[in-house]
């Protein structure tokens, strides 16, 4: 199999399982957290990483929310069962600045949890693995979009960087922001962020103090509140049309 086809095959596989495979790295992260608390003295760098980690995660979630809220139906979805789906080509909003805003949001959310371990080596390793992992996903996505949309896609891609913005020529979307779509598609993001930080903090406290006690009350309240919100939104999505919106 030629390298081009092999990369696409790998990308299609990773695309369908992209919501689950990074969990392997988080399991490793728990091991790193335990190691840090047990054997490594806290440094200024580790304190900085831990102190800004949650804000980095919120930044990633914010990018995802801002992106998804301005997208029409059957675009920018998770599509883990169906594979690649795109009824239209998104080129406005966040997509006018970078081609892969959702992947950038994913990276910031994942790396925020990795940063919470306080281990800079693990942050760098995770970033490298994430890059290799998502490079193949992006390759599969762009192959699909290039085949489906042709020249309009190539024109947009040639002027829009993949991940790091090079200009500020923001193009305003021609549709309004939809909180309903955000609630429907991103309902688990904030809860997952709070839950993961709570788990990592609990494990760290257990290693250090011998009991699962989290001193940060905001983690308790945030995890409980966002967990309830997630369950409510999940119920509404499954049993009502409250979150449905024409064309979104």
pLDDT tens for 169-179 read: 889 998 999 99
Residue 81: its pLDDT value, please? 47
CB 231 within 8 A of CB 60: no
Residue 213 in any domain: the answer is: no
Which residues are within 8 A (CB) of 177 and not within 5 positions of it... i.e. 6 or more apart? 69, 70
Q: Judge whether 183 lies within some domain.
A: no
171 has which bridge partners? Answer: 93
| Residue 227 placed within a domain | no
**Does some domain include residue 122?**
yes
193 falls within a domain:
no
pLDDT recorded at residue 176: 93
- Domain assignment present for residue 46? The answer is yes
Q: Which residues in the chain come in under a pLDDT of 70?
A: 1-12, 14-15, 17-22, 74, 76-86
Helices (H), the chain: 3-16, 23-39, 44-68, 101-115, 120-149, 151-159, 179-185, 189-209, 217-239
Residue 93 lies in a domain: yes
Q: Distance of alpha carbon 83 from its chain centroid, rounded?
A: 18
CA dist., res. 156 & res. 168, Å (int)? 15
CATH number where 153 lies: 1.20.120
Domain that holds residue 51: 3-177
At residue 12, the pLDDT reads 67
Phi, psi of 186 (to 5 degrees): -115, 20
Tokens of 8: 């696409």
Total domain count, the chain: 1
pTM of the model: 0.88
Residue 140's pLDDT is what? 83
Return the axis-axis angle of helices 120-149 and 3-16, rounded to nearest 10°.
110
Please calculate the CA angle 75-22-73 and round it to the nearest 5 degrees: 10
Q: Is residue 22 part of a domain?
A: yes
Q: Which residue matches tokens 């997509």?
A: 95
Nearest-angstrom CA–CA distance, 123 and 206: 23
């Amino acid at each position: 199999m030629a390298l081009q086809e092999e990369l696409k095959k790998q990308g299609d596989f990773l695309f369908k399982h992209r919501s689950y495979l990074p969990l392997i790295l988080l399991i490793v992260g728990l091991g790193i957290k335990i190691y840090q608390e047990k054997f490594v003295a806290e440094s200024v760098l580790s304190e900085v990483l831990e102190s800004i980690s949650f804000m980095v995660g919120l930044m990633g979630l914010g990018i995802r929310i801002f992106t998804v809220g301005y997208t029409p139906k059957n675009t920018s979805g998770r599509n883990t069962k169906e594979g690649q789906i795109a009824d239209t080509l998104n080129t406005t909003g966040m997509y006018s600045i970078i081609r892969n805003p959702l992947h950038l949001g994913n990276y910031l959310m994942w790396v925020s949890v990795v940063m919470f371990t306080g281990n800079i080596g693990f942050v760098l390793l995770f970033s490298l693995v994430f890059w290799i992992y998502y490079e193949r996903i992006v390759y599969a996505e762009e192959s699909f979009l290039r085949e489906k949309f042709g020249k309009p896609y190539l024109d947009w891609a040639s002027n829009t960087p993949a991940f790091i913005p090079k200009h500020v020529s923001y193009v305003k979307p021609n549709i309004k922001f939809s909180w309903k779509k955000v609630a429907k598609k991103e309902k688990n993001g904030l809860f997952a962020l709070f839950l993961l930080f709570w788990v990592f903090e609990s494990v760290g406290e257990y290693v250090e103090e011998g009991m699962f006690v989290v001193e940060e009350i905001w983690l308790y309240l945030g995890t409980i509140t966002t967990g309830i919100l997630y369950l409510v939104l999940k119920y509404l999505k499954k049993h009502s049309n409250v979150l449905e919106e024409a064309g979104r």
